[in-house]
Amino acid sequence: MPRVCWYFQIHQPWRLRPYSIFDVGNRHDYFATDSSLDFDNETVLKKVADKSYRPMFALLEELLTEYQDFVFALSFSGVVLEQFQEFAPDLISSLQRMVKTQRVELLGETYYHSLASLYDPPEFADQVALHAQTIKSLFGEKPNIFRNTELIYTDQVAKQVGQLGFKGMLAEGADQVLQGRSPTKLYQSPNGELPLLLKHYQLSDDIAFRFSQRSWASWPLTADKFEYWLTQPFQNDDIINLFMDFETFGEHQWESEGIFPFFRELIKLLNSNQAVEMVTPTQAVTDLQPVDIFSSDTPISWADVDRDITAWVGNPLQHDVINRLYSLGDKLQHLPKDGAASLLADWRRLQTSDHFYYMCTKWANDGDVHAYFSPYQTPYEAYNNYNNVLADLLTRIE
């Protein structure tokens, strides 16, 4: 029977406070803690918690209790776990209860939701290890499957992920790589190094982006309609990977649009449907055999219509700050360990990919999405603010 694999990503960055050129050399508190700001980190976390995390966590706990066949996967950046612990510790308790059911798989990723896999492999390995230690400490689990920041994939990244001991990896079912093949099969990286689960982006985006879009030909999306889509066209060895941001529920798709009742009814239907099985990523890579190689030397991701990495490295502004940021790694390695802890922490928080996402200069539909997430009026404002912070960090290191 076809299998359905649910995976949800939870992440919030430490957003920068307004930081002018006159602050360089004088202030080293980079991250927004002023409640008068719309993008104060505590304010944002609590808002999203009320709209998305708490109601969806409560729903997931209910569904786990009610439907024994319901399973799913979660991953969360280390920086959002820091914010949960500081601003909303009840969310940690809820996650711990869900994990204890043994039907929620936790995935590995970079602690800082960074681009280190592309720019600094040793730093990438360190962040993955730090994330795994945090997951073990909070939830008693060791991740077996890896999800890179924004599903960024290259063959070289897959090779390193395999060397780090993971048993599988998620990736985007990008058309430019599949070239007509189906994303509903299990693939493997070159030389059979790592099983790969590919996001079915059309079906995933039907929920994540199109659910409340009244101009969409299939609106309104109902649970029985979506269940039909998941069962009718697929074969016994198919795996339909529905990967999306957790904030889809309540933040991107509002409660008033009916996203929570939709999901509840969909899980009820899938649980009672004998023609489909819900599985975790580890179950999928254990039960299925890879059918082909999925190979890309060029980075792909789940972002934007191009499904590449131009959301973070698509213009000179982004290239400038990213190259200078990662060039500081060698300098930090040579500092005395007892004096470098705060510098290392700030350097790593500045690696969070959101900072570069805010500098994206794409327009049209992609630009609208970037503007929705950004606390800045323009990409140039984001660049200037980040550039000033980076200048101060460099003076501290030197």
Task: Return the active site residues.
Answer: 150
Residue 116's nearest CA partner among 161, 174, 163 is 161
CA distances 97 to 48, 190, 263, 356, 385, Å, are 20, 38, 20, 35, 40
Name the one residue in this structure whose structure tokens are 């940021």: 325
Indicate the residue type of 382.
A
**């069962």: which residue's tokens?**
231
Nearest of 65, 80, 71 to residue 110 by alpha carbon: 80
Q: How far is CA 285 from the centre of its chain?
A: 20
Cα–Cα distance measured from residue 249 to residue 53, given in angstroms and rounded to the nearest whole number: 8
Q: Which amino acid is at 343?
A: L
Gap between the Cα atoms of 39 and 33, Å rounded: 9
Specify whether the CB–CB gap between 358 and 315 falls below 8 A.
no
- What tokens appear for 120 in the block? 């600094």
Q: What is the DSSP string of 189-256?
A: -GGG--EEEEE-HHHHHHHHTTTT-TTSTTPSP-HHHHHHHHHTT--TT-EEEEEEEGGGBTTTB-GG
Number of neighbouring beta carbons within 10 Å of residue 327? 12
Cβ contacts of 201 within 8 Å, gap of 6 or more: 172, 173, 183, 302, 307
Residue where the block lists tokens 């439907």: 67
Please report the beta strands in the chain, taking only residues with DSSP state E, as ranges in sequence order: 3-10, 72-76, 104-106, 145-146, 168-172, 187-188, 195-199, 239-245, 277-278, 292-293
Look-up: residue for tokens 């390995």? Answer: 125
Residue 75 φ then ψ, to 5°: -145, 150
